[in-house]
Copies of this chain bind each other. A is one copy, B any other.
Amino acid sequence: MPAYKAPLHDIRFLMNEVLDYPAHYQKLSNGENADTDTVNMILEGAADFCENVISPLNQSGDEEGCHFKDGEVTTPKGFKEAYDQFVQGGWQGLSYPEEFGGQGLPMSLNLIKSEMMGTANWSFTMYPGLSMGCINTILQFGTEQQKNLYLPPLIAGTWSGTMCLTEPQCGTDLGQVKSKAEPNEDGTYSISGTKIFISAGEHDLTENIIHIVLARLPDAPAGTRGISLFIVPKFVANADGSIAERNPVTCGSIEHKMGIRASATAVLNFDNAKGYLIGEKNKGLHAMFTFMNTARIGTAVQGIAHAELSFQGALPYAKERMSMRALSGKKEPEKVADSIIHHADVRRMLLTQKSIAEGGRAMIYHAAQIADKMNDALLLGDTASFEKHDDHLGFYTPILKGFLTEMGYEAANHGMQVFGGHGYIKEWGMEQIVRDSRISTLYEGTTGVQALDLMGRKVLLTSKGKVIRDYTAEILKFCGQHARNKYMRRFAWDLTKLCAQWNALTVRIMLTARKDRDVVSSASVDFLMFSGYVMMAYFWAQQAAVASAKLASGDGAEVPEFYKAKIKTADFYFERLLPRTQGHAEAMVNPSKTMTSLAAEHFSFDY
């Protein structure tokens, strides 16, 4: 398993040189907290914690997994101590309000911290990660009393939280939720039902676990309009925050998973557990949607996390392992063979990983700035501004979650492939990255669900293609600014063509969908991937523009190899990965009938 090294140089390049975070922070109401020194302290502190505390637990955590006995879950060796350090470092409260014990920093710093943590040890990061959904829900929809009771320990990290949505019969289709909430005379509710796939649903890291549970009131309408939200603590809390009785919400088992084995995925049985309504009755699903974008961006991070970690494993191996000679002649004549980094095809895999990790990082850091603005609007109580930025982020969300997790899995597989047969052996740790990465296209909405959200909701239903027109206009503006630069011209030209094609494809599918509704589904994943490739190209072009300017001006003389590598990677991306758009474009324009017209019962492997 590669020891994680936080890519601080790249992180600072994106924050300071490409996306101008300092200016961005100045525009936020809490931006003054994020001065250069504080940001540096946080980046370096997070890097230290990730490299030295949780990265060393990544492989051992996978080997050991979580233990389940009599309803109790024990996390792997070292997790509890590492979590205590996490709490002591105040890492959970980074971007939460100071009034509840947080540090009041912009949300983007939290996301960057989560990226580092997730890369070092995704399983570990799931525990505090799930708390965030719970904290956000209480912050936005809780009563003053609920906020004062639950937020301080959640933000300190001494308590943790979960989101209990999925049930055995439904995941995506939450209208099928069956869990019940019976009102009690004291204003509380008795919650009954079974929830599955509850990450961090039971564990030994915190004193208490606060579940946010989707359930139905007795008189609730059927379907998605009859779902309410409840706070169900593992231990009921007294008004002073002290812990009272154990609530009958019990862990029935934990799942045996392909990967992220150190993250406990619980089956939770609610047996008349005491719950507290949060938010409006029957509006629970609507409340969930409020944080869907940020939650999904948090999962998109997994794509770049596993691309980065796998790259960090594969690159040194490619420099060490010797096999055959480069086709253009011996590169290391003194050795028995050339190291495999001298084979162009091995570079193809390494550069694909680098493209995805660094291109995806730029996409996410840009989205994080929008999340900052959303959060700022929330703090200021500016609903209109919140919704504006949420809509804006809503365009990026399915692309980042869908595209980056698919690409992250591809990158993880390339890293394993660089190792040849050794990649398949556990001790190297490369196969763990593949297994850990594999869940990212499944949870928090599968790739298919992201694609339908993009194509159906964001592009067609809500905006009739306007989101694509607006976004391509932004790209074209960038192209116009760089068209006269000799080096940048080819990027500008490729992007210009792709923007035209993106709009044309949108219109064509929109027209087809008038008569062929299923085309929205049949075209959706190809459309998502096309969109992702173009968006990533735009972010590579931005990085190339900065890098080439730095080299030209001499500003980049200190680490020219960093900028040169950026430029080569951008070139590689445009030459080798971006052409995949054409396969997706050609596939998506076909009508849906080939896919839908075969009778389901004739679809068989056993005639």
Most buried by B among A172, A424, A607: A424
Residues of B within 8 A of A605 (CB): 5, 7, 10, 308, 311-312, 315, 354, 357
> Is A173's CB within 8 Å of the partner chain B?
yes
Residues of B within 8 A of A257 (CB): 424-426, 431
Residue of B571, B590, B606 touching A575 (CB-CB under 8 A) = B590
Return the CB mask of A405-447 against B: 1 if under 8 Å, else 0: 0000000010011001101111100010011001101110011
A255: nearest chain-B partner, CB-CB: B425
Residue of B175, B517, B565 touching A598 (CB-CB under 8 A) = B565
Asked if B518 contacts A327 (CB within 8 A), the reply is: yes
Residue of B345, B347, B522 touching A451 (CB-CB under 8 A) = B345
Residues of B within 8 A of A456 (CB): 327
Q: A431-B258, A518-B328, A606-B7 are in contact. Are A342 and B586 (CB under 8 A)?
A: no
Q: A323-B171, A564-B602, A590-B575 are in contact. Are A522 and B344 (CB under 8 A)?
A: yes
Return the CB mask of A7-28 against B: 1 if under 8 Å, else 0: 1011000000000000000000
Q: How far is it, in angstroms, between the C-alpha of A557 and the C-alpha of B326 when the chains are bound?
A: 58
Q: A348-B595, A434-B258, A518-B326 are in contact. Are A603 and B341 (CB under 8 A)?
A: yes
From residue 381 to 418 of chain A, which have CB atoms closer than 8 A to chain B?
A: 413, 416-417
Asked if B425 contacts A446 (CB within 8 A), the reply is: no
Q: How far is it, in angstroms, between the C-alpha of A519 and the C-alpha of B344 when the chains are bound?
A: 8
Q: How far is it, in angstroms, between the C-alpha of A447 and the C-alpha of B349 when the chains are bound?
A: 12
A447: nearest chain-B partner, CB-CB: B417
Q: How far is it, in angstroms, between the C-alpha of A580 and the C-alpha of B520 when the chains are bound?
A: 20
Residues of B within 8 A of A327 (CB): 456, 517-518, 520-521
> Is A337's CB within 8 Å of the partner chain B?
yes
Residues of B within 8 A of A598 (CB): 564-565, 568
Q: How far is it, in angstroms, between the C-alpha of A438 and the C-alpha of B432 when the chains are bound?
A: 12
Return the CB mask of A583-594 against B: 1 if under 8 Å, else 0: 111110010101
Residues of B within 8 A of A424 (CB): 257-259, 438-439, 442-443
Residues of B within 8 A of A606 (CB): 5, 7, 9
Residues of B within 8 A of A516 (CB): 328
Asked if A256 contacts B420 (CB within 8 A), the reply is: no
Asked if B452 contacts A345 (CB within 8 A), the reply is: yes
Q: How far is it, in angstroms, between the C-alpha of A461 and the C-alpha of B236 when the chains are bound?
A: 75
A211 → chain B closest CB, angstroms: 18
Asked if B568 contacts A590 (CB within 8 A), the reply is: no
Residue of B342, B426, B448 touching A346 (CB-CB under 8 A) = B448
Residues of B within 8 A of A577 (CB): 587
Asked if B599 contacts A575 (CB within 8 A), the reply is: no
> Is A572's CB within 8 Å of the partner chain B?
yes
Residues of B within 8 A of A600 (CB): 319, 339, 341-342
- Show 25 A/B contacts (Cβ-Cβ < 8 Å), sorted by A: A172-B323, A173-B322, A255-B426, A256-B426, A257-B425, A257-B426, A315-B603, A315-B604, A319-B600, A328-B516, A343-B448, A345-B525, A347-B595, A348-B595, A417-B441, A417-B447, A421-B442, A424-B442, A564-B602, A571-B594, A575-B587, A576-B587, A577-B587, A579-B585, A579-B587
Residues of A within 8 A of B (CB): 5, 7, 9-10, 166, 169-173, 175-176, 197, 255-259, 308, 311-312, 315, 319, 322-324, 326-329, 336-337, 339, 341-348, 350-351, 354, 357, 413, 416-417, 420-421, 423-427, 431, 434-435, 438-439, 441-443, 446-448, 451-452, 456, 516-522, 524-525, 559, 561-562, 564-565, 568, 571-572, 575-577, 579-587, 590, 592, 594-607
